């Protein structure tokens, strides 16, 4: 994960001190805890990865723009699609990639802020203002190799909801 992405996930600006990063980590851990949030397990993985990247630094400076609301935006996007059937959700770095049966969920994906990447045949959610340097030349395998990959577990559906009414 890039430093600018890590700052965006935790919602801290460039120039943040270790004390500010630790306070932002604690606030994010409380906010995105899996007991309080359907997509919490995946959000906590991102928060922990961001904290690990920033913890190794002193005062963190970057010339790249950061979006201090990205963690909230990412959480809202993930929660909007986590229960949709037929989607293959994958988190690579600080991006969400969605494949599978997306045609029937096209409107929901657009409403959640996802963009379609025609070369990859997948939808993605990324930080606002992000500019591509590769112009789409990277394959999904390249992205997975560089940023890692995790597939979120879907929330278990209640056994009561699965039973037919008498």
42: confidence class by pLDDT, cuts 50, 70, 90: confident
- Quick check: is 135 in a domain? yes
92: confidence class by pLDDT, cuts 50, 70, 90: confident
pLDDT at 110: 92
Q: Are 10 and 24 spatial neighbours (Cβ–Cβ below 8 Å)? A: yes
Instruction: Examine the domain organization and report whether 84 and 61 are in the same domain.
Output: no
| Of 47, 53, 70, 89, nearest in space to 129 by CA | 70
Least confident of 25-34, 65-74, 94-103: 65-74
Asked whether residue 84 carries a pLDDT value surpassing 50, the answer given is yes
Instruction: Examine the domain organization and report whether 56 and 9 are in the same domain.
Output: yes
Instruction: Examine the domain organization and report whether 85 and 101 are in the same domain.
Output: yes
Instruction: Examine the domain organization and report whether 37 and 10 are in the same domain.
Output: yes
pLDDT digits over 116-125, tens only?
998 889 999 8
Instruction: Examine the domain organization and report whether 89 and 49 are in the same domain.
Output: no
pLDDT at 158: 46
pLDDT at 122: 92
Which three-class secondary structure state does DSSP give residue 6? helix
128-137: list long-range contacts, CB under 8 Å, 24+ apart.
Answer: 128/67, 128/70, 128/73, 129/65, 129/67
- Quick check: is 38 in a domain? yes
Name the average pLDDT for the chain.
79
Asked whether residue 97 carries a pLDDT value surpassing 80, the answer given is yes
Question: Cα 14 to chain center, whole Å?
Answer: 20
pLDDT at 59: 65
Q: Is the dihedral of CA 155, 127, 93, 115 positive or negative?
A: positive
60: confidence class by pLDDT, cuts 50, 70, 90: low
Instruction: Examine the domain organization and report whether 26 and 82 are in the same domain.
Output: no
**Segments forming the whole domain that contains residue 54:** 3-71
- Quick check: is 163 in a domain? no
| Of 49, 156, 123, nearest in space to 93 by CA | 49
- Quick check: is 129 in a domain? yes
107: confidence class by pLDDT, cuts 50, 70, 90: very high
Q: Please count the structural domains in the chain.
A: 2
Neighbours of 62 (CB within 10 A): 16
């Amino acid at each position: 994960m890039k430093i600018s992405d890590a700052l965006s996930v935790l919602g801290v600006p460039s120039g943040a001190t270790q004390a500010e990063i630790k306070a932002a980590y604690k606030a994010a851990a409380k906010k995105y805890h899996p007991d309080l949030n359907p997509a919490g397990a995946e959000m906590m993985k991102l928060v922990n990865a961001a904290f690990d990247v920033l913890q190794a630094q002193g005062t963190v400076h970057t010339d790249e723009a950061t979006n201090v609301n990205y963690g909230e935006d990412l959480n809202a996007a993930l929660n909007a699609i986590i229960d949709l059937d037929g989607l293959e959700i994958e988190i690579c770095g600080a991006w969400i990639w969605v494949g599978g049966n997306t045609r029937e969920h096209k409107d929901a994906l657009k409403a959640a802020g996802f963009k379609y990447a025609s070369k990859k045949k997948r939808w993605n959610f990324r930080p606002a203002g992000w500019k591509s340097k590769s112009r789409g030349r990277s394959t999904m395998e390249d992205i997975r190799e560089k940023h890692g990959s995790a597939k979120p577990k879907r929330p278990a559906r209640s056994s009561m909801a699965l039973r037919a009414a008498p």
